[in-house]
Amino acid sequence: MELYVLNQNYDKIAVIDYAESIIWTKRYCETGDCEIYLPAETDTLAILKKRNILQRADRPADIMQIQTVKIETDEEKGNYMTVTGKTMDILLAQRIIWTQTNLSGSVVDCAEKILNENLIKPSNAARKIAGVTFESSIKNSKKVEKQIPGDNLLDAFIELLTTYKCGYKATYEKGIKITAYQGADRSGSVVFSQNMENLIESEYSSSVEGYKNVALVAGEGEGVSRKTYTVGSAAGYDRFEEYVDARDISSDTDSGTLSYAEYNKLLASKGQEKLAETIVQEKFSGTIEPEINYAYGIDYDLGDIVKMINEYGMSANARITEVIESWDESGYTCIPTFDTEEV
């Protein structure tokens, strides 16, 4: 695969068409990464510098920022370099939530609020990163009640979207566009199985380890005066309890003191977020035959829901949460990871 090298102004400065291997990994609601292995030439070292940009020639919107450059010298094998990069949402990791922020509204509105206040349109011009925009294709998103005390912006953004089963992508369109979205449900039309000869190998796991379905959320205060809220209603043998320390949630805000009901909404949201991390999970991962039946990026994409069937007849409608594409002397390989949740 051919890659372009861009400088920090997004000007094309070179073409890389001599890499011995390329691994390009995209994730639904997490930073993606890449690894390029190629001969270490003087000219190459001059262009593959930290924070320069790698752009796919076949998908110009797909870019990653170079993070590390490693050079290995060997008299017999020759000198080689390994270049690793991250998707452009890594820019969000350069910012924090500067002030305690109360979020109330749709997932999209809350995501836009924290990005605008801390990176896109901050009150302090020194905190702005030019050329970054936000949009969303999510039409109906759930209501959020949440207080953020001072987290890293990227961590807060990912946690917000993950809790409500949304994803995002960071693409290049004369700048960096952060788009929140939910993948399409293609389970009725896209099926991966050995019987259809488009699933080369698969791995299936199911686990209840760490599963919780009831949370006691403890907020501000001390001892018997500490404010608490319970999320979940399971009972008996099917009840799995979790304690959530939420003392960082304060009823005192810049706009005044929260009411009892308003504060409880924040505690409830904190508990729901924690329980979302501790669900029973089924996971499929597999290596597919990329040229049989369906094409990645055309018939299905990252974040879409497809049907997976293994040789034992176990099936699930699973979301594609990660796609690893690789190119080397053996050719092209596409390895998606499919995650499904059992509630």
Report pLDDT digits (tens) over 289-333.
877 888 888 999 999 999 988 888 888 888 899 999 999 999 998
pLDDT at 247: 92
Identify the domain boundary among 25, 60, 88.
Answer: 88
Say if strands 12-16 and 63-72 run parallel, antiparallel, or are unpaired: unpaired
Amino acid at 1: M
Tell me, yes or no, whether 12 and 67 share the same domain.
yes
Q: What is the extent of the structural domain holding 27?
A: 3-88
Report pLDDT digits (tens) over 55-106.
999 999 999 999 999 999 988 888 999 999 999 999 999 999 999 898 989 9
pLDDT(342) > 70: no
Query: Does residue 275 contact residue 231 with C-beta atoms inside 8 Å?
Result: yes
Distance CA 95, CA 150 (A): 10
Classify residue 186: in a domain, yes or no: no
Phi, psi of 89 (to 5 degrees): -65, -10
- pTM exceeding 0.85: no
- Find all residues with CB under 8 Å of 222, minimum gap 6, and list them: none
Average pLDDT over residues 205-216: 92
pLDDT(239) > 90: yes
Tell me, yes or no, whether 319 and 200 share the same domain.
yes
Report pLDDT digits (tens) over 160-171.
998 888 999 999
Tell me, yes or no, whether 111 and 174 share the same domain.
yes
Average pLDDT over residues 194-216: 88
Tell me, yes or no, whether 246 and 295 share the same domain.
no
Report pLDDT digits (tens) over 21-64.
999 999 999 999 999 999 998 899 999 999 999 999 999 999 99
